[in-house]
Structure 1
Amino acid sequence: MINLDCDDLFETWRLQARWLLSHEVDPSLVAWASEGVQDLFASDHALPESQGPFLARIPRTLLDTLEQAARYRGDQRWSLLYEVLWRVSHGDRTAMMSGDKLGSELQRRIKQVQRESHHLHAFVRFVELPDCVGPQYVAWHEPAHDILHSASEHFIGRMGRHRWMIATPRDGVYYDGEQLNYLRQCPVQWQQMAQNVDDPHGDMWLTYYSHIFNPARLNPKVMEGHLPARFWKNLPEGALIPGLITQARTGKQQDGQASGIKGRQGKRIGQTKMESSRGTPMNPYEPRMSPVGAAE
């Protein structure tokens, strides 16, 4: 068994996989360390010193697909990619397709990565820093997969020439107005800045969010499908969501009103001067009489 560590870098894994493939090393004989955990059953056999004779023809689309799937954090993160590469290089392209068991897992991981990129775009909350020499806007986010570097380019067009920074427990990205700078190890200073910043307009946003919340259309399962609960703790409105759900279940969904409003007594509206002068309001379906007493 050959034990390898690509340091969770796709380019490093690609070089290792190309070397293995040239010697036609079977996927069952290779184990990659992930997240700093070594395979207990792997030996310390090193890679062959020289490149092997096997020349594999790999479609470019496969490399792009493997690079996307490489952002997924999970078991067999790199071994699965090599198994797909091995099968395709030996003429079995079904390994890339969802109809195949291995291809289905590959496509599932890609979808999870794409969904996590969407979560970054939807749930990042930038907070403005007043009179700051560094970033003008900062945000804290906790993605489940390694999507920060690729997905954060989305904000270059959204934020214009402003300087902004996104910090995570693992990596960080900073845009200085001209260039996007990515660090695999997020500096502690960045993390503290993003987590401890106070939003001067936070109260206004919470008031707005609580008023636009529609209890009549609440479906908690659907809501958590679009807004997973793991993001609530990092969203300013996240603290309001459990209370709003409770209010909806205890009154708003049945009455269309908050519990503090539905218990109030109604106010009687007085008659207008015209209604008072006529006495009983006229029935619009009764025939109106002309001055001479004939029905119109």
Structure 2
Amino acid sequence: MLQVRFDGRFDGWRQAARDLLHRGIAPHHVEWLAGDEAGGLFGGHVAPEPIEPSSPVRIPRQLLAELETAARFRTADRWSLLYRILWRVAKGDQTARLVGDADGSELHARIKTIRREMHHLHAFLRFSPITCPSGPDYAAWFEPAHDILTGAAPHFAERMGLHSWLIATPDDAVLWDGDVMHYANPCPAIWRRLAQTAQESGAELWKTYYESTFNPARLNRDVLQNNLPVRFWKNLPEGPLIPQLMSHARAGAQRDGQAERVATRPGKRIERTGQA
């Protein structure tokens, strides 16, 4: 078994994988060690034995894009799956990329998960203004399930004009200075504190609006939790309200087509018309 250590990033893996392909090292002979990850039962780093170089390998550009996306999926075998697919395609087995293949199916499932997690970041991340003169204009804290930050962050650079902003996670962070995006892994402690302590001045107003517009008559718990997973609630201004509003709906508030505090006010009552 050959232990191949790299920096834990896709570019580092790609360079190592290219060298292994060139040397003709099959996937079942390789143990991937990312960053400071401890090795298995085979001791420390072992370099591949030099052999007669093979002919140049051409890999489809689309496959590299798919592998890069799937590499963001956090799991113990993320790098070994990528190399196994890469090896099979390099040997002429294009079925490794297809959904009907075991490896291909896992590849596309991971890509789908990563894209959904990026959507979650775009939808549920909340920036708060920063008053510190030397800090960015806005900061946000987010806890993704996978390594999506560098892939998802350009979305905000394209939409926030010349404003500077910071997104920090438990593992890494990006800082956009209005012109250049700076990436840090691990997340610097000062960036973490800045993102976690940022306060949105309009948070209370937003919570009041959210509570007033919540429609208990149309509550569907499964749909809500599928589109807004529970793990994100704690970092949303309205998050603490959701369990209470759901509890009121189950306790009978679903007969009304508006929040309880609105339903008790004078005026025409909006009765329940159905459940979505």
Q: TM-score, normalised by structure 1?
A: 0.84
CA contact (8 A) 2:212 2:258 kept: no
CA contact (8 A) 1:140 1:234 kept: yes
- Residue deviations 1:78-110, cap 9 Å, x none? 000000011101111010111101100000011
Residues 242 and 106 of structure 1, relative CA distance in 2, 3 Å threshold: same
Residues 9 and 266 of structure 1, relative CA distance in 2, 3 Å threshold: closer
Q: Aligned-pair distance for 1:159?
A: 1.1
- Residue deviations 1:223-281, cap 9 Å, x none? 111111111111111111100100111122124465567789999xxxxxxxxxxxxxx
What pairs up with 1:13-92 in 2 under 5 angstroms?
13-34=13-34, 36-43=36-43, 44-49=45-50, 52-92=53-93
Which segment drifts farther, 131-140 or 253-262? 253-262
CA contact (8 A) 2:212 2:259 kept: no
Q: Aligned-pair distance for 1:126?
A: 0.4
- Identify the structure with bigger relative contact order (alpha carbons < 8 Å, sequence gap 6+): 2
Which segment drifts farther, 3-12 or 70-79? 3-12
Give structure 1 regions of 4+ aligned residues with deviation exceeding 6 angstroms.
260-267
Q: Aligned-pair distance for 1:54?
A: 4.1
What is the match of residue 120 of structure 1? 121
Q: Distance in 1 between matches of 2:232 and 2:51?
A: 48
Q: Distance in 2 between matches of 1:125 and 1:80?
A: 34
Residues 259 and 11 of structure 1, relative CA distance in 2, 3 Å threshold: closer
Q: Aligned-pair distance for 1:42?
A: 3.5
What is the match of residue 293 of structure 1? none
Query: Secondary structure in 1 aligned to 2:167?
Result: strand
Q: Does 1:146 align with 2:161?
A: no
Q: Aligned-pair distance for 1:38?
A: 3.2
Q: Distance in 2 between matches of 1:177 and 1:266?
A: 49
- Residue deviations 1:154-211, cap 9 Å, x none? 0012211111111111111111111111112211001001111222211101101111
- Residue deviations 1:16-57, cap 9 Å, x none? 111111122111111112474434234543123577224323
Residues 150 and 83 of structure 1, relative CA distance in 2, 3 Å threshold: same
CA contact (8 A) 2:4 2:46 kept: no
What is the match of residue 273 of structure 2? none
Query: Sequence identity, in percent?
Result: 49
In angstroms, what is the RMSD of aligned CA positions? 2.2
Amino acid at match of 1:67: E
Q: Distance in 2 between matches of 1:129 and 1:60?
A: 41
Gaps of 5+ in 1: 268-296
Amino acid at match of 2:22: S
Q: Distance in 1 between matches of 2:52 and 2:68?
A: 23
What pairs up with 1:240-259 in 2 under 5 angstroms?
240-256=241-257
Q: Distance in 2 between matches of 1:206 and 1:243?
A: 13
Residues 251 and 24 of structure 1, relative CA distance in 2, 3 Å threshold: same
What is the match of residue 137 of structure 2? 136
* Higher Cα radius of gyration: 1
What is the match of residue 206 of structure 2? 205
Query: Secondary structure in 2 aligned to 1:185?
Result: coil
What is the match of residue 184 of structure 2? 183
Q: TM-score, normalised by structure 2?
A: 0.89
Q: Distance in 2 between matches of 1:63 and 1:7?
A: 18
Q: Distance in 2 between matches of 1:11 and 1:223?
A: 38
Q: Distance in 2 between matches of 1:185 and 1:237?
A: 29
Q: Distance in 2 between matches of 1:139 and 1:227?
A: 18
Q: Distance in 2 between matches of 1:90 and 1:250?
A: 62
What pairs up with 1:269-280 in 2 under 5 angstroms?
none
Residues 266 and 179 of structure 1, relative CA distance in 2, 3 Å threshold: closer
What is the match of residue 101 of structure 1? 102
Amino acid at match of 1:15: Q
Q: Distance in 1 between matches of 2:61 and 2:126?
A: 36
Which segment drifts farther, 24-33 or 86-95? 24-33
Q: Distance in 2 between matches of 1:156 and 1:98?
A: 34
